[in-house]
């Protein structure tokens, strides 16, 4: 199975990226797919780069702690597109159909469907990580809202000796 | 749809001229009346548009600055990107008009496999636009040989240089070939690039089709039909000396060519092609960024309702006093 | 699904039988697609009391998702007349309506399009929203040919579309840099918003600050005693950090210099540290200056409202300089404030013939380039001080800081102040790294919250819009370990903090003069162990 997928890697990744940018309007999708500049087109290039990594990770069965940071980069983008959390993670599920289509030509192979289903279990595991990641980013947005409101009246709060330790703490890593 | 409409319009114009001259033989109409009318429309129309633009005031000086300002002595300013004087603004405009400076800015970085960053650029639009405009100018200047007697030496020289490739008889001119190629590129870009196609209007396709038709008929006349040049010159000289000649010897396709040019001239003042004149009047480009050194006057400035200090102190007197802040009136 | 096969059969997925996903641009003309108001992308309407206080038309209760926006009965007439008036008063507007060739050079230059992908956020299309009406109502071709000439009917839906998209533009002018004719979307957006104001269609995040600013002199509505307390409080913090007691004079007549800064610096973290930075610097060099409670904001949300509102709010600066009898004016770190000061103030409220050409009392440098406006930027002032060796700086106090510099849109593209801040940063920090070339200087990316968009109901949109900037920040963070982003704009300091928290939480935002003061060796200071944020500094702070 892995060899079959490995052989069609480029095709699968490309199709997966195309399916992922579908959440954007069609003309934007075109731009996202074509402009290969990480600063002029950070969305498209990030999605392309990270999905490629994620697909390889699925093939190699990479442990979650390596996968999550890369998955995060995609979810971080899809979480702020105002499309809802279902669509923000839907790209993971799209991979199933992409793979089945890519392998459709080999359908004479009797064991293929079973092996496909086995591989899809890995995709399901990735989907669970994606849910986690998405809810983490939605929470981050909520926290950011609070912290921004807090920053806006910072000097006032301090002058009034307000204790705000109960407000969401800065995330780990923040503050260098 | 937008494309089809434009294409149909140009084909209709072609048929009109073909029937008019090829079938009905209306040489005077297509060779004299319409060109004069078109030229009159062009001159008056362009003048009207430019005068109208110029009549609108520029209330504020709002250049877009693209380089270091002039400030401290030891900091090197970029006069061409951020002009401080009128002359510098003129030079900035010259770069813009002659070399399309802003389009040249399309630099971008690319990531190659392995995440290595490569600085590259996307200058196709710049190259295509520049090639089109310059070649169009060269072709235009070459055409003055039909309107002048004797032909100025510089025009002859230009025509000679233009045909240096020595392909075909008469020699294929480089400018026409590049012009055709550039127009093809600009059209293809509109059709193929998703974003550009999305924003394009019939008013964008029509001039492209029209220009392509002009160049195509011109090339056909020179290389395929090989129309009688003396007859063409007779018509052209007749037009400039106000002694119109029907030019009986010229091929009917010549009148199609002339008709397309007439349409272009007549269409010009009412279209986006007026960017030719407008670019000189763009307040973000043609002004110096010296607002802090030289006061700009707004001709229609009017007084507005403000909140005066007296009103302010009146409202906050007690609070100012409590905070120990000096007052005008105790 | 025309296939006979079921999803559990491989044949179901045969590409021959299933149409591939069509990614070509939709066949529909954008003019036919009505605006889809997505929560998270629009800003809440202005409250009635603010419009009433400032004297703007049609105050009422309404909401963007309401079918009826309660426009005046003759709204169409108002818009057409409003356009006619502006076309005859602003050459920029008239010319920009006429000369666009839709070459597409600007299409992928807008941060909102790059990060969010809505095609109507392509600058050319944002302008076409107005241009289509202009053609239909003001050109012969449009009147006769209508749609064929690119014209369209003015309807209530068009007004809704304008509201949605003219408040998704930060007036950053990046697209204008790439336009061969210099067509400036900021100018288009300003006109679009002026027209909307005629109908009472506006947003609270702008109108509340405008009303506040008119009354109290600053956007936040800080009253005089509040400002006194704030500055005294800053002085306490400075004393704790440095051991030096500084003064912050208010409304002091006869001072040499009036200092004006955005009010965000008085209240919002991390701008407050920048304000403390100014106070320390002025104390150290013994500048004879004063703050003002009446002119307590250089920022001007009038710029995001209308030219008239801008003039009304800006008038206080020269008025106060005249009343206090100062010689010249110094301006703090702010973005749109400097667009107003550099490109509008002198024309609107000048001439400032009662002031003198700004001259540094320490170096004697005459700032000739500001000889008419009589107002200079604080980085011009400080760069000159450093160049003449007037400051005792110890950049190692900033050794835990690896900084990059974000060119704020307005100082970059409406002034061209690139080298002064960089010179200062290199003088006060040992670790300074530039972001990639096409994301800085005149090509700098907006923070996504300028032009009155920095509120929280449109947070998702701001985060999308901030992504191009954040990508470049992340790049230098990964490559050089950058942990600070310096910006000389109050809106940047507020909104980029948020953008960084989402995209690059390892990087925090700081002002230039915060870093200056953290490197400044002050006379009579105690051993510096903490910075203005009261955090450990220098090598000991490095992890």
Cα dihedral sign for A13, A15, A18, A19?
negative
C118 has a chain B CB within 8 A of its CB: no
What is the nearest CA distance from B204 to chain A, expressed in angstroms?
19
Average pLDDT of A57-74?
A: 90
Confidence (pLDDT) at A167: 54
Q: A39–B195: do the CB atoms touch at under 8 Å?
A: no
Q: Kindly give, in sequence order, each residue whose CB lies less than 8 Å from that of residue C291, ignoring residues fewer than 6 positions away.
A: C227, C231, C248, C249, C250, C251, C259
Cβ-based contacts of A25 with chain B (< 8 Å):
none
Percent of chain A with pLDDT over 90: 31
Out of C439, C505, C506, name the one closest to residue A39 (CB).
C439
The residue behind tokens 């072609």 is B14
* Backbone φ, ψ for residue C366 (5° rounding): -95, 125
Q: How far apart are CA B27 and CA B33, in angstroms?
A: 9
Q: Which two tokens stand for residue C397?
A: 């106090």
Give the closest-approach CA distance of A70 to chain B in angstroms: 14
| pLDDT for the residue numbered C1 | 37
Give the gap in angstroms from C-alpha B318 to the nearest C-alpha of chain C. 9
Please indicate whether, in this complex, the C-beta atoms of C118 and A147 are within 8 angstroms of each other. Answer: no
Q: State the chains in contact with B (3 or more Cβ–Cβ pairs under 8 Å).
A: A, C
Nearest to C114 among A41, A104, A151 (CB): A41
Does residue A11 sit at the C interface (CB-CB below 8 Å)?
no
For C416, the closest of B49, B67, B279 (CB atoms) is B67
Q: Report CB contact under 8 Å: C459, A107.
A: no
- Please, which residues 79-98 of chain C have a Cβ atom closer than 8 Å to chain B? 87-92, 94-96, 98
CA of B172 to nearest chain A CA: how many angstroms apart? Answer: 37
Where do the domains of chain B lie, and which CATH numbers do they carry? Answer: 2-322 (1.20.950.20)
The answer to whether A37 contacts B109, with C-beta atoms less than 8 Å apart, is yes
Residue ranges in C90-184 assigned as alpha helix (H): 91-99, 111-116, 123-138, 140-145, 156-166, 174-178
Model confidence, pTM: 0.91
With tokens 């190659």, the residue in question is B112
Report how far apart the first and last C-alpha atoms of chain C are (Å, whole number): 59
Q: How many CB atoms lie within 10 A of CB C521?
A: 13
Q: Please, which residues bridge with residue C509 across strands?
A: C485
Does C47 contact chain B (CB < 8 Å)?
Answer: no
Express each pLDDT in A116-133 by its tens digit.
Answer: 888 889 999 999 999 999
Is C314:C243 a contact under the CB 8 Å cutoff? no
**Whose structure tokens read 């079973």?**
A114
Cα B190 to Cα B199: distance, rounded to the nearest angstrom: 9
The answer on pLDDT for A153 being more than 90 is: no
pLDDT at A152 over 50: yes
Contact B111 A26 (CB under 8 A): no
Cis peptide before C11 (omega within 30 of 0): no
pLDDT tens per residue across span A22-44: 777 766 777 777 766 777 778 88
Q: Give the start-to-end residue ranges of the domains of chain A.
A: 2-145
Element (H, E) at C405: strand C403-406
Q: What pLDDT does residue C119 have? A: 83
d(CA A75, CA A77): 5
The pair of three-digit structure tokens given for residue C72, joined into one six-digit string: 């005046």
Q: How far apart are CA B134 and CA B148, in angstroms?
A: 22
Beta-strand pair B116-121/C257-260: unpaired
Q: How many Å lie between the alpha carbon of C252 and the closest alpha carbon of chain B?
A: 7
In this structure, how many other beta carbons lie within 10 angstroms of the beta carbon of residue B241? 11
Nearest CA in chain B to A52: B113
> In degrees rounded to 5, what are phi and psi of residue C403?
-115, 145
Please list every residue in chain C whose beta carbon sits closer than 8 Å to the beta carbon of residue A33: 23
Domain positions in chain C are: 30-202, 209-541
Distance of CA C323 to the CA centre of its chain: 29
Residue among B111, B194, B198 minimizing CB distance to A38: B111
Residues of A in contact with B117 (CB under 8 A): 38
Chain A neighbors (3+ CB pairs < 8 Å): B, C
Which is nearest to C331 in space by CA: C407, C392, C393, C411?
C411
Contact: A39, B194; criterion CB under 8 Å: no
Q: Are strands B107-112 and B116-121 parallel, antiparallel or unpaired?
A: antiparallel
Q: Is A100 on the interface with C (CB under 8 A)?
A: yes
pLDDT of residue C10: 56
Q: Is A107 on the interface with C (CB under 8 A)?
A: yes
B71 vs C139, C344, C380: nearest CB: C380
Q: Which residue of A has its CA nearest to B197?
A: A27
Q: From CA B1, how far away is CA B14, in angstroms rounded?
A: 20
Kindly give the parts of chain C with pLDDT less than 50.
1-3, 14-26, 543
Q: pLDDT tier at A176 (50, 70, 90 boundaries)?
A: very low
For residue C15, the model assigns a pLDDT of 40
Nearest Cβ partner of C180 from B96, B307, B325? B96
**Does C416 contact B81 at a Cβ distance shorter than 8 Å?**
yes
C-alpha to C-alpha distance for A14 and A164, rounded to whole angstroms: 48
Across C258-292, b (16+ Cβ under 10 Å) vs e yields bbbbbbbbbbbbbbbbbbbbbbbbbbbbebebbbb
Give the C-alpha distances (Å, rounded to integers) separating B293 from A147, B241, C225, C300, C391: 42, 52, 36, 22, 28
Q: Do A36 and B111 touch (CB under 8 A)?
A: yes
Residue contact B195–A26, C-beta within 8 A: no
Identify the chains in contact with C, defined as 3+ C-beta pairs within 8 A. Answer: A, B
Determine, for residues C187 and B284 on separate chains, whether the beta-carbon distance falls below 8 Å: yes
Chain B residues within an 8 Å CB radius of A37: 108-111
| Interchain proximity C228–B199, CB inside 8 Å | no
Q: Do C176 and B64 touch (CB under 8 A)?
A: yes
Domain C30-202 is in which class? mainly alpha
* pLDDT for C17: 38
Q: Which residue has the tokens 């070649």?
A: B135
pLDDT digits (tens, 9 = 90+) for C77-109: 999 999 999 999 999 999 999 999 999 888 888
Q: How far apart are CA A53 and CA A13, in angstroms?
A: 9
What residues of chain A, 51 to 80, have a C-beta less than 8 Å from chain C? 76-77, 80
ipTM of the complex: 0.91
Question: What are the pLDDT tens digits along chain B (330 aa)?
Answer: 788 889 999 999 999 998 988 888 888 888 889 999 999 999 999 999 999 999 999 999 999 999 999 999 999 999 999 999 999 999 999 999 999 998 888 765 454 444 444 444 568 889 999 999 999 999 999 999 898 888 888 888 888 888 877 777 677 888 999 999 999 999 998 888 777 888 889 999 999 999 999 999 999 998 888 888 888 888 899 898 888 887 778 888 999 999 999 999 999 999 999 998 899 999 999 999 999 999 999 999 999 999 999 999 999 999 999 999 999 987
Q: What is the C-alpha radius of gyration for chain C, rounded to an integer number of angstroms?
A: 25
Q: Sign of the C-alpha dihedral, residues A33, A35, A36, A41? A: negative
Residue found under tokens 């005089």: C224
- The Cβ of residue B174 has, within 10 Å, a number of other Cβ atoms equal to 16
For CA atoms C55, C56, C58, C60, the dihedral sign is negative
- Which residues in chain B have Cβ-Cβ distances shorter than 8 Å to A39? 108-109
Decide if C203 contacts C43 (C-beta within 8 A). Answer: yes
**Residues C404, C433 contacting (CB under 8 angstroms):** yes
* Residues from chain B contacting residue C320 (CB–CB below 8 Å): 309
Interface of C with B in 499-538 (CB under 8 A): none
Query: What stretches of C247-306 show up as alpha helix (H) in DSSP?
Result: 264-267, 271-285
The predicted pLDDT at position C538 comes to 64
Residue A154's pLDDT band (boundaries 50, 70, 90)? confident
What confidence score (pLDDT) does residue B120 get? 46
Question: What is the pLDDT, as a whole number, of residue A156?
Answer: 78
Closest CA–CA distance from residue B281 to any residue of chain A (Å)? 30
Residue in A22, A80, A107 nearest the CB of C464:
A80
Which single residue is written with the structure tokens 């997505």?
C38
Closest-CA residue of A relative to C509 is: A175
Residues C433-462 as b or e (16 or more Cβ within 10 Å = b): bebbebbbbbbbbbbbbbbbbbbbbbbbbb
């Amino acid at each position: 199975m892995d060899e079959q997928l490995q052989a069609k890697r480029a095709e699968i990744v490309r199709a997966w990226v195309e399916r992922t940018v579908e959440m954007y309007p069609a003309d934007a999708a075109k731009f996202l797919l074509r402009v290969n500049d990480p600063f002029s087109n950070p969305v498209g290039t990030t999605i392309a780069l990270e999905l490629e990594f994620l697909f390889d990770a699925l093939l190699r069965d990479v442990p979650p702690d390596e996968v999550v940071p890369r998955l995060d980069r995609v979810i971080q983008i899809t979480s702020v597109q105002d499309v809802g959390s279902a669509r923000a993670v839907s790209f993971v599920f799209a991979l199933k159909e992409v793979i089945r289509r890519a392998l459709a030509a080999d359908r004479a192979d009797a064991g293929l469907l079973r092996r496909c289903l086995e591989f899809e279990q890995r995709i399901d595991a990735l989907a669970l990580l994606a849910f986690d990641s998405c809810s983490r980013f939605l929470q981050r947005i909520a926290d950011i809202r609070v912290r921004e409101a807090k920053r806006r009246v910072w000097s006032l709060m301090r002058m009034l000796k307000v204790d705000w330790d109960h407000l969401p703490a800065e995330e780990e890593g923040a503050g260098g | 749809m937008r494309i089809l409409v434009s294409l149909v319009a140009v084909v209709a114009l072609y048929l009109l001229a073909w029937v008019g001259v090829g079938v009905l033989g209306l040489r005077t109409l297509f060779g004299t009346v319409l060109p004069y009318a078109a030229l009159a429309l062009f001159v008056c129309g362009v003048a009207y548009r430019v005068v109208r633009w110029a009549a609108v005031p520029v209330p504020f000086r709002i250049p877009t600055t693209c380089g270091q300002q002039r400030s401290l002595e030891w900091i090197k300013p970029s006069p061409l990107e951020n002009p401080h004087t009128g002359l510098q603004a003129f030079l900035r405009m010259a770069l813009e008009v002659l070399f399309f400076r802003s389009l040249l800015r399309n630099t971008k970085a690319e990531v190659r496999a392995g995440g290595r960053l490569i600085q590259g650029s996307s200058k196709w639009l710049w190259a295509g636009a520049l090639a089109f405009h310059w070649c169009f100018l060269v072709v235009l200047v070459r055409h003055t040989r039909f309107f002048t007697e004797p032909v100025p030496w510089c025009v002859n020289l230009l025509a000679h240089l233009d045909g240096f490739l020595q392909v075909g008889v008469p020699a294929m001119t480089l400018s026409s070939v590049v012009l055709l190629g550039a127009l093809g590129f600009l059209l293809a870009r509109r059709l193929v690039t998703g974003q550009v196609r999305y924003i394009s209007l019939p008013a964008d396709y029509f001039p492209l089709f029209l220009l392509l038709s002009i160049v195509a008929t011109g090339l056909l006349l020179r290389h395929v039909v090989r129309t009688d040049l003396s007859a063409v010159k007779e018509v052209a000289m007749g037009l400039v000396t106000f002694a119109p000649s029907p030019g009986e010897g010229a091929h009917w396709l010549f009148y199609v060519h002339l008709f397309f040019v007439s349409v272009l001239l007549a269409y010009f003042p009412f279209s986006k092609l007026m960017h030719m004149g407008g670019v000189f009047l763009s307040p973000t480009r043609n002004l110096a960024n010296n607002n802090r050194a030289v006061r700009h006057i707004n001709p229609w400035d009017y007084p507005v309702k403000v909140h005066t200090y007296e009103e302010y102190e009146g409202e906050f007197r007690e609070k100012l006093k409590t905070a120990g802040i000096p007052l005008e009136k105790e | 699904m025309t296939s006979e096969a079921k999803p559990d059969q491989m044949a179901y997925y045969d590409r021959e039988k299933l149409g591939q996903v069509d990614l070509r641009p939709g066949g529909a003309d954008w003019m036919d697609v009505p605006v889809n108001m997505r929560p998270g992308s629009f800003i809440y309407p202005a409250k009635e009391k603010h419009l009433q206080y400032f004297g703007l038309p049609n105050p009422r209760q309404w909401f963007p998702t309401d079918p009826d926006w309660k426009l005046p009965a003759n709204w169409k007439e108002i818009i057409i007349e409003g356009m006619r008036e502006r076309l005859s008063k602003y050459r920029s507007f008239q010319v920009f309506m006429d000369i666009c060739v839709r070459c597409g050079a600007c299409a992928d230059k807008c941060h909102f399009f790059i990060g969010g992908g809505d095609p109507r956020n392509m600058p050319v299309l944002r302008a076409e929203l107005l241009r289509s009406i202009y053609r239909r109502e003001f050109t012969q071709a449009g009147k006769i040919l209508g749609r064929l000439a690119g014209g369209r009917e003015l309807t209530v839906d068009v007004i809704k579309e304008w509201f949605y998209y003219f408040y998704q533009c930060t007036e950053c002018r990046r697209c204008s840099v790439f336009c061969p004719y210099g067509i400036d979307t900021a100018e288009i957006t300003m006109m679009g918003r002026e027209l909307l104001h005629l109908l009472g269609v506006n947003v609270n995040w702008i109108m509340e600050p405008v009303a506040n600013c008119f009354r109290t002199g600053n956007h936040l509505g800080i009253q005089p005693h509040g400002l006194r307390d704030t500055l005294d409080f800053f002085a306490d913090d400075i004393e704790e950090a440095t051991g030096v007691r500084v003064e912050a004079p208010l409304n002091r007549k006869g001072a040499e210099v009036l200092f004006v800064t955005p009010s965000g610096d008085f209240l919002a973290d991390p701008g407050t540290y920048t304000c403390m930075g100014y106070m320390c610097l002025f104390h150290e060099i013994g500048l004879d200056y004063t703050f003002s409670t009446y002119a307590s904001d250089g920022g001007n949300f009038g710029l995001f409202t209308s030219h008239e509102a801008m003039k009304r709010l800006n008038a206080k600066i020269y008025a106060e300089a005249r009343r206090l009898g100062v010689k010249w004016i110094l301006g703090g770190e702010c973005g749109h404030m400097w667009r107003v000061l550099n490109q509008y103030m002198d024309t609107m409220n000048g001439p400032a013939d009662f002031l003198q050409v700004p001259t540094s009392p320490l170096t004697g440098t005459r700032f000739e380039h500001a000889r008419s406006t009589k107002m200079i930027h604080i980085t011009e002032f400080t760069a000159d001080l450093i160049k003449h060796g007037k400051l005792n700086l110890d950049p190692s106090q900033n050794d835990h800081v690896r900084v990059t510099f974000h060119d704020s849109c307005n100082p970059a593209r409406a002034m061209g102040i690139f080298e002064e801040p960089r010179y200062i940063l290199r003088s006060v920090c040992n670790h300074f790294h530039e972001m990639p070339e096409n994301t800085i200087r005149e090509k700098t990316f907006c923070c996504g919250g300028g032009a009155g968009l920095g509120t929280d109901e449109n947070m998702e949109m701001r985060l999308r819009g901030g992504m191009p900037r954040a990508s470049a920040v992340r790049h230098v963070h990964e490559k050089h370990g950058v942990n600070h982003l310096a910006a000389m704009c109050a809106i940047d300091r507020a909104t980029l903090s948020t953008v960084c928290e989402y995209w690059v939480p390892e990087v925090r935002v700081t002002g230039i003069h915060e870093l200056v003061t953290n490197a400044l060796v002050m006379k009579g200071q105690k051993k510096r162990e903490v910075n203005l944020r009261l955090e450990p500094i220098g090598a000991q702070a490095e992890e």
